Structure 1
Amino acid sequence: MEKVVFTTGGTGGHIYPALSIAKKVRKKGIDTLFIGTKHRMEKDIVPNENFRFVGLDILPLRSIKSGFKMITATAGAIKLLKKEKPAKIIAFGNYITIPVLIAANVLRIPYYLQEQNHTMGQANKWFYKGAKKVFIAFENTLEGIKEKYKRKFVVTGNPLREEFYGKNKQEERRKLGIKDDERVVLVIGGSLGAKNINEAILKKWKTIMEDKRIRLFWATGKDNYEASTYRIRDFGTAVVEPYFENVPELMAASDIVICRAGALTISELIQLEKPSVLIPYDFVGQKENADVLEYANGAKIFTNETAEKAIDEALSIVRQASMLEFMSENVKTLKKGNSAEIIVKEMGI
């Protein structure tokens, strides 16, 4: 039986795109194996999705000790791949993928890369020249690639959970009990929330509550819920939770989204054609991810220090139907379709 090895790990941004593709591969009756590190979240997430998983002892390359562990892990990866005999390998970036990619080169196993962010990570930079194909989320990533290698690159968007496809805005609004004349503002700061965004929302709380047409859905983050809500006396129609389990539905129903600029969040906004106000973190390439939408006139970017202005801007845009439509149409031009399906096809699976 044909077999595909997935190497990924470290963060949800690396793991969930891999799982989206692996589920498509599994439906075709093809065997799969995940290889990651035994120290990070993939060791729990991947087996919970009923995929085989092997965790190597890999650490970030920051010391002599981690260098030796990388060498040992690479030897282990070579031994493992000799035993498993995969037809193809696909890697999703970061240091965790290095041992398997070195092993793929040693054993001459064809490999593919997937890059979630606008700016390519170091591991993918090291290995893309030997890849069969490199699947990138954003067209702008090609700007940093030498002309002779561009033929390897395929712009696919990021693989997302199936729940983000096929959503209808009006249907989701009906399910959530949102009135036709209400304007929905969705605020999400990531799994841990965003303190700066939360504080800005609180300072603008009276303004938000005064406009009865605005319906706020606000995820404070698990660790920030009590601190963000204990001063609020009147919640009005606002829905405030530590986090939302139904983000695809809420995002589909929303008119504008206030959020960070992680790679998958940007791709979710594109898939659902959502105008947004983005407050990127100052690290991990979020500003460059946000630029993708701002350059297309589909988003406005603010900093942590100007978070209050970001809320004001979102409240202004959400009252302007023509501006919402303009931004949404611009975001729509960035859509690529179901990325996982495109990648599986491009890999010849």
Structure 2
Amino acid sequence: MGDKLKVAIAAGGTAGHINPALALAEELVSRGHEVHFYGQATRLEATLVPQAGFPFTPLDLTGFDRSRPWTLFTSLWKMSRAEKSLSREFAAGSAPDVAIGFGAYIEMPLINCCVRHKIPTLVHEQNSVPGLANKSSAHKVKSVCVSLPVAIDAFKGKVGAGTQIIVTGNPVRKSVINARRDEGRRAFGVPDDARLLLVFGGSLGARHLNQGVVALKDELLSREDLYVIHSTGKGEYDSVVSSLALTDEEAARWQVMPYIDRMGEALAAADLVLSRSGASSVAEIAALGTPSMLIPYPLATADHQTTNARYLVDAGAAIMLPDDDIDTPAFRSDLLALVDGADRRAQMAAAAKGLGQDRAAAALADQVESAAGLGD
């Protein structure tokens, strides 16, 4: 094997699974290792992984829909077929030295196949509440790596006798970590001496958050040095633009867009973030050390966005408000207090940086190398 590893990564479905996997891949390649991705041809990974320059092999899988029990048979049949395909590939000389899954069901044939071939395996859990795939794989793998300490308890009783549970943090891509304030300001046309509020909620559950911010338009713009970058989510863009009804003068300070492609630059440029608290958002906010006000999506599975947010809140890096409070005076007073509170924001930024989230990719890469026997 030597010091150069062949690492297989299974990640797919959503950017929340894929981007941490890409961050790990970047770190592994920087250490001289070789990385190969597995995913589905019809999902987001088939676009994002090749765009990032990594080899990608599609696997034909379908998930199990609990509301349609008969889909279990098709799912299991395709899972078995995918495992056999991987076994043939490995037997032909393409076996990895180590494999890691990032929580979507696409990981299961890879993990199962590697376990049968005695190839060391790991899984990484991005959220505070583990998904079904990682809970199902946990007893088979050498290490379960989690983003948040609170996730440790969720895996107890589900891991094998020799399985380690290790907190690594949630890897963030270098394009985010390496973003700089001055470059971000130039990219979005925001003056160096202005205050910048960054608002985003994603395409899921952003409507109420958008409505709350729109209602504060006049008060926010009354602060003549305040700029707003507002990512509405694709489904909400037209509605938000219509509700804001910005004049040309107002639009110069309030940029509305359906999606932010350059999130690293936006976070680096911002003085304050108002957002939901998905796992990737929390990781990126922490990695850039940006003060934040978090409004967890109330319908998230097991309310995991609230648990995600507590990671920053308990560290003093963020404040959190329930979604129901968007329509109360608390939303207005808390947000404007942070907009106007430079000293408070400086304290929150220092607390976020102290979490070391920018080192998560390296910590996870260390675990991959350890599982493969490097350094033993």
TM beyond 0.5: yes
Asked whether the 8 Å contact 1:74–1:103 carries over to 2, the reply is: yes
> C-alpha distance in 1, partners of 2:150/2:191?
37
**2:293 is the alignment partner of 1:277:** yes
Are the equivalent residues in 2 in contact too, given 1:6–1:18 (CA < 8 A)?
yes
1:20–1:340 contact (8 Å) kept in structure 2? yes
What are the Cα deviations for residues 311-341 of structure 1, in whole angstroms up to 9, with x where unaligned? 5421222211232123223323322443222
In structure 2, distance between residues paired with 1:150 and 1:204:
54
Unaligned runs of 5+ in 2: 66-70
Partner residue, 1:249: 265
Give, in whole Å, the separation in 2 of the partners of 1:48 and 1:160: 17
TM-score by length of 2: 0.83
Amino acid at match of 1:283: A
**TM-score calculated relative to the size of structure 1:** 0.89
Which of 347, 351, 357 is residue 326 of structure 1 equivalent to?
347
Residue 50 (structure 1) aligns with: 53
Matched, 1:178 2:191: yes
| Structure 1 segment 27-176 matched on structure 2, within 5 A | 27-62=30-65, 63=71, 64-83=73-92, 84-146=94-156, 152-169=164-181, 172-173=184-185, 176=189
**How far is 1:145 from its partner?**
4.1
Q: How does 1:180-329 map to 2 (within 5 A)?
A: 180=193, 182-190=194-202, 194-231=206-243, 232-234=245-247, 235=250, 237-281=253-297, 282-284=299-301, 285-308=304-327, 309-329=330-350
Residue type of the partner of 2:347? F
Counterpart secondary structure, 1:54: strand
Contact 1:193–1:219 under 8 Å retained in 2: no
CA contact (8 A) 1:158 1:339 kept: yes
CA 1:207–1:100: 2 relative to 1, 3 Å: same
Whole-angstrom distance in 2 between the partners of 1:256 and 1:334: 18
Say what the alpha-carbon RMSD is for the aligned residues.
2.6
CA shift for structure 1 position 90: 1.1
Change (3 A) 1:102 1:290: same
In structure 1, the partner of 2:6 is 3
Counterpart of 2:355 in 1: which secondary structure? coil
Given that residues 172 and 284 in structure 2 are in contact (C-alpha distance below 8 angstroms), is that contact kept between their aligned partners in structure 1? yes
User: Compared with structure 1, are the counterparts of its residues 43 and 163 closer, same or farther at alpha carbon in structure 2 (3 Å cutoff)?
Assistant: closer
Distance 1:209 1:28 in 2: 47
Give 1:292's aligned amino acid.
Answer: Y
Asked whether 1:12 is paired with 2:22, we answer no
For 1:230 and 1:312, the matched residues in 2 are separated by 25
Q: Return the alpha-carbon distance in structure 2 between the equivalents of residues 217 and 207 of structure 1.
A: 16
Q: Is the contact made by 2:291 and 2:348 (CA closer than 8 Å) also made in structure 1?
A: yes
Equivalent residue, structure 1, for 2:366:
345
The secondary structure found in structure 2 opposite 1:4 is: strand
Task: Call closer, same or farther: CA 1:95–1:343 in 2, change over 3 Å.
Answer: same
Please list the CA deviations of residues 225-246 of structure 1 after superposition, one character each: whole Å capped at 9, or x if unmatched. 2221124143252222222333
Offset, 1:187: 0.3
Q: Tell which deviates more after alignment, 71-80 or 254-263.
A: 71-80
Q: State the AA in 1 paired with 2:221.
A: M
Matched, 1:24 2:12: no
Query: What secondary structure does 1:35 align onto?
Result: strand
Identity value in percent: 29
Q: Which runs of 5+ in 1 are unaligned?
A: none
Question: How far off is 1:167 after superposition?
Answer: 4.3
CA deviation after TM superposition for structure 1 residue 10, in Å: 0.8
Is the contact between residue 182 and residue 192 of structure 2 (CA under 8 Å) also seen in structure 1? no
- The answer on whether the counterparts of 1:192 and 1:222 sit within 8 Å (CA) in structure 2 is no
